[in-house]
Amino acid sequence: QQQVKQSPQSLIVQKGGISIINCAYENTAFDYFPWYQQFPGKGPALLIAIRPDVSEKKEGRFTISFNKSAKQFSLHIMDSQPGDSATYFCAASYSGGYQKVTFGTGTKLQVIP
């Protein structure tokens, strides 16, 4: 059962542009929503995470927007750079689930100069 839906599957953005990746979840028990970045040949690395008690969280050029009523959240990458080219995964977990994380299907981002 796909519990976290992610779109788009791939994304091409010009350098300096805004990259937007969207995710939707079904399980209302989820209460922690991390985003991971994965480069080829590497494991995923935590980029930024949000709890549902806030609607937005910003860290540098990366912002998560969260809409609890719609059960949707998104990642915005401002001023996208070629070094941001990677695969991005949204994810979700719930209290009591500890490290059991449900991942979205991933978005392959390419930032072209």
Partner 1 sequence: KAGVTQTPRYLIKTRGQQVTLSCSPISGHRSVSWYQQTPGQGLQFLFEYFSETQRNKGNFPGRFSGRQFSNSRSEMNVSTLELGDSALYLCASSLGTEYNEQFFGPGTRLTVL
Residue numbers at the binding site for partner 1 (CB under 8 A): 32, 34, 41-46, 49, 51, 89, 93, 95, 97-106
Where does residue 38 fall: left (phi above 0), alpha (psi -120 to 50 degrees), or beta otherwise?
beta
Question: Which residue lies nearer to partner 1 by CB, 2 or 67?
Answer: 2
Q: Which residues pair with 72 in a beta bridge?
A: 24, 67
Q: If residue 108 lies in a helix (H) or strand (E), which one and from where to where?
A: strand 107-112
Question: Which residue lies nearer to partner 1 by CB, 18 or 45?
Answer: 45
Are residues 64 and 33 in contact, defined by beta-carbon separation less than 8 angstroms? yes
**CB of 93 vs partner 1, minimal distance in Å:** 8
Are residues 104 and 90 in contact, defined by beta-carbon separation less than 8 angstroms? yes
**CB of 17 vs partner 1, minimal distance in Å:** 26
**CB of 105 vs partner 1, minimal distance in Å:** 5
Question: Which residue lies nearer to partner 1 by CB, 13 or 92?
Answer: 92
